[in-house]
Structure 1
Amino acid sequence: MAFKRKVLGKTDYGRRLRLLKSKDRRFIVRITNKGIIAQIAEYSVNGDRILATITDKALSKYGIELRGNNLQICYLVGYAAGVEAQKAGVETAVLDIGRKKFRKGGRIAACLKGITDSGVDIPHGEDVFPDKKRLNGSHLKNPVKLNEAVKNFKKLEEKA
């Protein structure tokens, strides 16, 4: 079966080709039913080379024991991906969201805000990010204190 991933709805080859032609590193965001995966990848003839990977489960390394794919976790995964990307020498990237649609103020936008706040330059519009109240978790029963979490990232970054 030719282009099996296209038939299964997993890959948009037109979008992928445009991303690869840009020759920029890609910030890949995939939201699953139970979590989130963020990666920094660059194109290679032998296959994409992954420079950094962070999942919601990996946040425990930074002292955050929560899992899931809500806005706060998405922001923190993006921030952690930015920290790891900078360790790998990545300063700029383009957003790769696969077959998902980008929604203003959504989980992918929260992840994008996290990586841009960490210092990685990714082209975006200013009005796409979630509201600060939602990022701080005012709509959640048990919100993560983002200021403390970001301080944990910075402390661990200084130790390394």
Structure 2
Amino acid sequence: MASGPNYKVKFRRRREGKTNYYRRYVYVLSKATRLVIRITNKYVVAQIVKFDPKGDKTVVMAHSIELAKKFGWKGDTNNTSAAYLTGYLLGLRARKAGVESAVLDIGLFTPTVGSKIFYAAKGAVDAGLKLPLGEDLKFDEDRIKGAHVAEYASKLETENPEKFNRIFSGYLKRGLNPKDLVAHFQEVLNKIKTGEK
């Protein structure tokens, strides 16, 4: 590690790759309500966070594990469909808590077209939250519903059943044939709409 009279050690959270302090500074100055979305190896987490001088306050949150526990979701908890459903769930809760609009906070994630973070944001927008996403973002409705997964599963089941069972073992274990993912997505979305009213 470099040392010397002119060397300045970065803040711990910056060294760990957890916080971009310049972006954080801009958010603090704007005092904007933020839609914070984080995607881990297993889950999608979405929160509405308001600035407070003593520390940020989380107004509402949604976690993709809730999809499985409360609404019967049998798909993966970190795929595109789960990201959209988690965002939609958060959007409904935000509206109920009186939050009309927010700005998207993606942390240190590099913005990429078609990424799960933007599909989670799309879910929040579809639930009625005002969120400036820009004109360039395009969303594939079939991808949201999991049609690409169902199509691949159908093809794989006929061509290589052994590989099908290996790749989709999680789905099959949870009692969902991946070919039925589109219908299952719609069913869970309807449960979220009625359950969160």
- Shift in Å at residue 134 of structure 1? 1.2
What SS class does the counterpart of residue 44 from structure 1 fall into?
coil
The aligned counterpart of 1:101 is 110
116 and 79 in structure 1: CA distance in 2 versus 1, 3 angstrom threshold: same
Give the CA deviation at 1:2.
5.8
| Matched residues, number | 158
Instruction: Could you tell me which runs of 5 or more consecutive residues in structure 2 were left unpaired when the two chains were aligned.
Output: 1-8, 154-177
- Share of identical aligned residues, percent? 39
Which residue of the partner structure matches residue 123 of structure 1? 132
Look up the match of 1:89: 98
Q: Which moved more, 1:149-158 or 1:3-12?
A: 149-158
What residue identity is the alignment partner of 1:46?
Answer: K
In the aligned structure 2, how far is the partner of 1:17 from the partner of 1:144? 42
Q: Equivalent residues in 2 for 1:5-154 (5 A)? A: 5-59=13-67, 60-140=69-149, 141=153, 142=178, 143-145=181-183, 146-154=185-193
Deviation at residue 121 of structure 1 after TM alignment: 0.3
* Farther-moved stretch of structure 1 (16-25 vs 37-46): 16-25
More helix by share: 2
Q: TM-score, normalised by structure 1?
A: 0.90
Aligned equivalents of 1:54, 1:155: Cα separation in 2: 16
Shift of 1:13: 0.5
Counterpart CA distance in 1 for 2:193 and 2:15 is: 44
Deviation digits for residues 106-126 of structure 1, max 9, x if unmatched? 101100110000000010123
Structure 2 length-normalised TM = 0.74
Q: Name structure 1 gaps, 5 residues minimum.
A: none
Residue 147 of structure 1, CA deviation: 3.0
Structure 2: how far apart are the matches of 1:129 and 1:37?
A: 22
Query: In structure 1, what is the Cα distance between the partners aligned to 2:28 and 2:73?
Result: 34
Closer, same or farther: CA 144–50 of 1 in aligned 2, 3 Å: farther
What are the Cα deviations for residues 87-145 of structure 1, in whole angstroms up to 9, with x where unaligned? Answer: 21111000001000111111011001100000000101233243112112122142253
1:56–1:67 CA contact under 8 A, matched in 2: no
